[in-house]
Structure 1
Amino acid sequence: MTRHGKNCTAGAVYTYHEKKKDTAASGYGTQSVRLGKDAIKDFDCCCLSLQPCKNPVVTRDGFLYEKQAILEYILHQKNDIAKKMKAYEKQKQAQRSTDQSESKSVEKEKMEKFKTNESNIVSKPINPFTSRDEQKAAGAAGAAGAAGAAGAAGAAGEVAVAGSSKALPSFWIPSLTPEAKPTLLKKPSKTVLCPMSGRPLRMNDLVDVRFTPLDPSLDRVKLLSRQERYVCAVTRDVLGNSVPCAVLRPSGAVVTQECVEKLIKKDMTDPVSGDALAHSDIIYLQRGGTGFAGSGVDLRAKEARPVMQA
């Protein structure tokens, strides 16, 4: 054979291409694919809307959001937490009333048992005018009557059990099916979490971000249509996913990480506003990656599918 096609079945070796093709067509096994540049958001896009930010804000962990989008998210989470807390309180009140009714029924059973035991203690008076033989005969007659009554009660109980056993197999009848207890709700947390990092998020933690446009004369529409839109506020280097960036909390200016290491950390002063900086005032932006292996971001997506087992 001089020619080899992708669908060639004459080979004696099960090739990698054939195995990959059969795995994709079978519907089983975990599939993984590497994301390209088109599947990665730009550094100036919101993590929720995936669109370029108009009024960007950044969290302490460096995740960029549109101000309106993140405020709506926080409001939605607070309403959801209030709804869950209301349902939890309702369940707690219902459980409290159930416990009270059960405790009352237990006390009532104890009282009835106490009354029964007290009534059994009272003995019948002995007639002094009867002989011992007559008393023994009366006791034997009473014992026989009690045994007969117990036998009748046992027979009635067996009949009842037999009747109930005949009714129990009809489990498909709605009146005889067991009732499922409602799932117990856990007390919800009142803390709003960041949708990206999962850490607590407050409105006071959001810092306004001010990007420096490459050409201040361009309006927003023309600026967004360009690939290179923003530059560093100090060095005027072009910003992008391949350039690590940081936000200075006092001024909100975006600078490159190289500028932070070589210039700003020497005197720890904000070059835009002139305020003193602490290490917590320098927020490093989270990048979306560039599609290359050296971007430092995991760019492989996996889909777990059913697995065939022998």
Structure 2
Amino acid sequence: MFINRFRGGVPEFLGDLEHLQVLKLWQNNFTGSIPAALGRAAPLQEVDLSTNRLTGEVPRSNLLVYEYMAEGSLGDVLHGEGGDGNVMAWATRLRVATEAAMGLCYLHHDCSPAILHRDVKSNNILLDEGMEAHVADFGLAKYLRHGHGAASECMSAIAGSYGYIAPEYAYTLKVDEKSDVYSFGVVLLELITGHRPVGPHLGEDGSLDLVQWVRARVDQGGGVEAVLDPRLGGDVPAWEAAQALFVGMLCVQEQSVERPTMREVVHMLQQAKLPPTPSLHDLRGGAIPMHPSAAAARVRVVHHDEEAAAGGGSDSECEGR
């Protein structure tokens, strides 16, 4: 019943339907108050009344109420229904990536037991009116019970979305925090490239996914310019783009043990603005500059003044802290 432009009030009888589990009425023209009867519908698990003109409170019940996110999902903003989407500024993209990483970091490191999202993708990162990112849709989430003697959980079936699923999950059905890290890496590559994770736009015959496409470009020596979203133009700090790409490629390593934790990802993204910014010309050699944080230490490069340079040296001092 969504996207039908229905008018009037939401029918009261919907709350009396015995087998109603999902009610989606978004993008209509309903007005008036939200029927209290919806709070009596015991089987009802999901209700979407967004993009209507309803008033009043959501009925008190066992319904989980989500805050309305005015800008929709990151996937919608980046790609749009027709595939073009909006041109998010680079600073906004980097901030959204950092905020989403912080949300996953909370699930992995601050919840006890840890929570695996298992369906991290751009459509499950919602943006409010200030373009602040919120990780959403926990329908596939699972607790990770490290205390039961296993470092990963073995699932009975694959859950997640095509293009975001970690290799080990697809092959062995074993999942841990690093599976979410892989999926987040794909989202980060989406933000950098502006491409969907799969589609005919990747490779000559569309046979590549986004991770394979980026790897191929980097391996060919194209550098960050070869994968950066062309809609951004030249208004992108080269160092920030290179470091974001480096973090993304770390997250999508084939071997899960080689991927960083979400706590490390947050730290690296937060530090992306710290170093001085080189020109894009410096990055055309194809190598992705390694971020200091990747060595599990926060490194500050202290450049000496002109006197040191005049002495023939290019001294720099790396100081861990």
- More contact order relative to length (CA 8 Å, sep ≥ 6): 1
In terms of fraction of residues, the more helix-rich structure is: 1
TM-score band by shorter chain is under 0.3
TM-score (norm 2): 0.18
In terms of fraction of residues, the more strand-rich structure is: 2
